[in-house]
């Protein structure tokens, strides 16, 4: 029995490529006292982890090579030497891109069997919680307000738009390409969706947000943020969730014109957040998200890739906009 591990082999200068990673085969580690050994079932790949590979330290700390690539996993406990976690438990843990990982009991969260484990990496995991708290706690939507969301077909964005719809808002998505945009409207009930690749992008967003923008949920930064800033209504909120336009580079662009001038004129609040600050309210959010799934008002898009060895290519493809919904890599059967 061996442990396949995907290590960071080199830090990208410019765009990320699959060969910045290497796959190694090592012995399966053992759980020490108070620890558990976990078998990875699936891992999620999010654009935000690209920021962790940039030279400057992100909230995740400075990047290093020779270590396993980080990522949240859903896993089966195959050996436990810790109280409160038993062999056979399904857990969510920071397992990274490998078959097996060892964790202190405090690092793993036991979750219920009975739903697709991948949901714990998507709608019931960080992505869903991020959509929920970012929109509701930071954005504070009111019925009838206009919510604009970028990377709207992405893991967080496709949930943000639907939660906004559920809350009675006029919802406009920005995504890459006509196909994604059509699916946002037809399958998820967005009021409109605009491709940022279109020449008439700015005018189209303005047309779709005829009453201005009350909440812009920003997953991208860059030009889309610049466009949104000019459409913000007085006392609007910009929820700064991610900066995917700036992740896959070593040379982030300047901030948008209009910051801070337009913020003053329109009394706009622009607020960065991380979901971990809402830890105490996760149960409330998961209950709400599950309820919306159960009653059919929330559709969850999962974008699956098979096999640990394909994780690097799946990440590169994700950064190029290849995914729809939460990208999951299946590593082993449940």
Could you list the residues that contact a second copy (CB under 8 A)? 51, 58-59, 218, 221, 225, 238, 240-243, 246, 252-274, 277
CA-to-CA separations, 230 to 221, 297, 325, in angstroms, rounded: 14, 32, 28
Residue 217: CB minimum distance to a second copy, A: 12
Q: How many C-beta neighbours within 10 Å does residue 66 have?
A: 10
Residue 214: CB minimum distance to a second copy, A: 15
**CA separation for the pair 127, 110 (Å, rounded):** 18
Residue 265: CB minimum distance to a second copy, A: 4
Residue 220: CB minimum distance to a second copy, A: 9
CB-based contact 133:37 (threshold 8 Å): no
Nearer to a second copy, 145 or 219 (CB): 219
Residue 138: CB minimum distance to a second copy, A: 9
Residue with tokens 């947000």: 209
Nearer to a second copy, 47 or 93 (CB): 47
Contacts of 175 (CB under 8 A, 6+ apart): 151, 152, 153, 154, 157, 181, 184, 193, 194, 195, 196
Nearer to a second copy, 203 or 274 (CB): 274
Q: 42: which strand partners?
A: 74, 330
Nearer to a second copy, 85 or 225 (CB): 225
Residue 127: CB minimum distance to a second copy, A: 15
Nearer to a second copy, 130 or 323 (CB): 130
Nearer to a second copy, 8 or 240 (CB): 240
**CA separation for the pair 194, 205 (Å, rounded):** 6
**CA separation for the pair 221, 217 (Å, rounded):** 10
What the block records as the tokens of 332 is: 């082993």
């Amino acid at each position: 029995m061996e442990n396949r591990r995907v290590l960071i082999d080199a830090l990208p200068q410019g765009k990320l490529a699959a060969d910045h990673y290497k796959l190694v085969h090592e012995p399966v580690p053992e759980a020490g006292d108070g620890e558990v050994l976990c078998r990875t079932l699936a891992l999620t790949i999010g654009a935000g982890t690209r920021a962790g590979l940039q030279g400057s330290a992100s909230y995740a700390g400075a990047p290093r090579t020779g270590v396993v690539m980080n990522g949240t996993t859903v896993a089966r406990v195959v050996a436990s030497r810790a109280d409160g976690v038993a062999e056979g438990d399904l857990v969510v843990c920071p397992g990274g891109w490998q078959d097996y990982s060892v964790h202190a009991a405090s690092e793993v969260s036991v979750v219920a069997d009975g739903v697709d484990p991948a949901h714990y990496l998507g709608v019931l995991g960080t992505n869903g919680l991020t959509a929920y708290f970012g929109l509701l706690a930071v954005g504070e939507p009111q019925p009838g307000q206009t919510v604009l969301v970028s990377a709207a077909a992405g893991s967080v964005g496709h949930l943000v738009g639907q939660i906004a719809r559920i809350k009675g808002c006029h919802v406009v998505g920005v995504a890459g390409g006509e196909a994604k945009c059509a699916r946002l409207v037809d399958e998820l009930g967005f009021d409109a969706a605009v491709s940022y690749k279109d020449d008439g992008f700015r005018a189209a967003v303005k047309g779709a947000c005829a009453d201005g923008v009350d909440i812009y949920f920003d997953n991208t930064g860059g030009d889309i943020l610049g466009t949104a800033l000019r459409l913000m209504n007085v006392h609007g909120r910009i929820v700064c969730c991610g900066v995917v336009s700036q992740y896959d580079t070593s040379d982030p662009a300047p901030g948008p014109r209009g910051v801070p001038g337009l913020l003053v004129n329109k009394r706009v609040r622009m607020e960065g957040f991380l979901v971990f600050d809402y830890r105490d309210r996760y149960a409330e959010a998961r209950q709400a998200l599950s309820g919306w799934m159960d009653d059919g008002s929330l559709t969850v898009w999962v974008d699956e890739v098979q096999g640990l060895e394909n994780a690097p290519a799946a990440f590169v493809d994700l950064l190029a906009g290849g995914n729809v919904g939460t990208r999951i890599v299946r590593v082993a059967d449940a």
